[in-house]
Amino acid sequence: MDRLKGKVAIVTGAAGGMGKADALLFAKEGAKVVVTDLQEDKLQAVVEEIKAAGGEAAGFKHNVASEEDWQRVVAEAVSVFGKIDILVNNAGISDATPFMDQTVDNWERVMKINVTSIFLGQKYVIPQMIEAGGGSIINISSIAGLTGGSGTGPYTASKGAVRLLTKATAVDYAKHNIRCNSIHPGFIETPMTVDMFKDPQMVQWFQMQTPLPRLGKAEDIANGVLFLASDESSYITGVELPIDGGYYAK
């Protein structure tokens, strides 16, 4: 308990899945949590769950690809809680359209939601972190950002971009005591992957690729995010952390 006591965090894509797990764990560990998403009803349910457990939270509708929305959300977060110490760029989309069937519009959509959103989040949160004396940014990438993947061209490219944007940010803002790290989930059951996890053959394939004898849960990612958000990782920046049951070790 209290690993994030006194800290204020923004978690995007927090209406469900990994973002929700991050937000609930952060609140349990003493953080004041700003949760954002486009799904307002589910987002409000997360806020109410945190408050019912004795935590503090606020929720804002948020299109992470919109610069205006980022400006508004950051301003509202500071207005409500006074500062920002932690940013978890969790929101993202998947895409498995065959490469030759891709369109420029679809490519740009994936890049805006998966990469431009992180650029914007960092752009508007970093000044607040400098004012607060430092902070921790955790960008959610993917194992697809570490290795190539069949049938996932734009998605893989976007997640690889997240990895190196993270490193560049870490180098540029270390002097301000701002840390920036990326997490690379493996095969995790979330609302975004639920259809794949309903397919027994797909689940069997996932398990064949994963050395540990189980697949991942959102809480597995949240535990890693918590570590990187906390002062326990105060000398860690610019790293990629695979949380993948050993997939990347092969």
The set of catalytic residues is: 155
Does residue 177 come out as left (phi exceeding 0), alpha (psi in the -120 to 50 range) or beta? left
The answer to whether the beta carbons of residues 39 and 15 sit under 8 Å apart is: yes
- How wide is the angle at C-alpha 193 spanned by C-alphas 188 and 194, nearest 5°? 105
Does residue 136 come out as left (phi exceeding 0), alpha (psi in the -120 to 50 range) or beta? beta
User: How far apart, in whole angstroms, are the C-alpha atoms of residue 179 and residue 162?
Assistant: 15
45 φ/ψ angles, rounded to the nearest 5 degrees:
-65, -35
Q: Which two tokens stand for residue 52?
A: 């019912």
- How wide is the angle at C-alpha 169 spanned by C-alphas 13 and 66, nearest 5°? 40
